[in-house]
Amino acid sequence: MYEQPLTIGELAKRGNVATSLLRYYEKEGLLEPSGRTAAGYRLYAPDSLKHLLFIRKAQRYGFSLKDIKMMRGIAHDSDQPHNIRDIAEQRFMEIERRFTEMLVLRHELELFLDDVTEQIGEAANPEVALQYRELMEQVCGMESHDHRGPPLKRLTTRLGCDLADQEWEKMLTALRGHHVHVWREDDGGYSILYVKATDKVRRALEKLAKSESSCGAHITPEVAPTEDGVMFRARGDNAFMFAQLFLALETADT
């Protein structure tokens, strides 16, 4: 797509990184300039953007720079493609173990909260018990025992968006079953990329972001087009709920 060499500033802008990071990758032997200008500035080959995005994606998945360097080297050796798969599968299994631990913890904690709520309701006077139940609903974003409901319904309840139920359902229908990429940003927020998104998907994302503008639990989400599709960016302490929502929508029945 880009036939002319890229300056370090152009590559940094298109890759959404700082120029200092490109110099660091060069120092680590991951990204080499193809030459320099007459004034001595670095120039990068047009396919350097693809290499940069690969490095950034691999880092988001938890691969070390050593692993990435190994994968880059193996990729040019047609006799060792299985080594790349072995490295990726090992990382995948590590994530699966951690993910399972968190699922079990969440499940047991929700049951514990229900038990505590019930015990306090039996032991305390009605006014105190009511105040406690209201507090739990605010903190957990759901009524007691709601964890037994469908996961997608539980997530939308916790988000507490201003859209009416009918609008919610229409919007979620437009977003169901589409392929997404999700990653956590350095600031703790999450970016969700809808690959090859249609206008219908874009409008649904914009409606969701707008509906959340009055919510104090997180910063208003942003929606922006990219070369690969449409990006939904969520920031704030509760941004992780959006990541869960979009992952659930990807596998939801259409």
The structure tokens listed for 99 are 């993910």
Kindly tell me if the per-residue pLDDT of 1 is higher than 80. Answer: no
Kindly tell me if the per-residue pLDDT of 220 is higher than 80. Answer: no
174 vs 237 pLDDT, higher one: 174
Partners of 6 in the β-ladder: 44
Kindly tell me if the per-residue pLDDT of 121 is higher than 70. Answer: no
Amino acid at 196: K
Q: Give tens-digit pLDDT for 138-153.
A: 555 444 444 444 556 6
State mean pLDDT over 59-75. Answer: 79
The structure tokens listed for 124 are 């305390």
Q: How confident is the model at residue 240 (pLDDT cuts 50, 70, 90)?
A: confident
- 159-254, CATH topology level: Gyrase A; domain 2 (3.30.1360)
**Domain ranges within the chain, ordered by starting residue:** 6-76, 78-148, 159-254
Q: H helices of the chain, where?
A: 8-15, 19-27, 48-60, 65-75, 81-123, 126-140, 151-159, 165-175, 199-211, 240-251
Question: What's the CA gap between 143 and 113, in Å, rounded?
Answer: 11
Partners of 195 in the β-ladder: 229
Mean pLDDT of the chain: 78
Of 211, 210, 196, residue with least CA distance to 164: 211
Query: 122: phi > 0 → left, psi -120 to 50 → alpha, else beta; which?
Result: alpha
Q: Give tens-digit pLDDT for 2-60.
A: 478 899 999 999 888 899 999 999 999 899 999 888 888 899 998 899 999 999 888 88
Q: How confident is the model at residue 201 (pLDDT cuts 50, 70, 90)?
A: very high
Domain 6-76 has CATH 3.40.50.2000: no
Q: How confident is the model at residue 199 (pLDDT cuts 50, 70, 90)?
A: very high
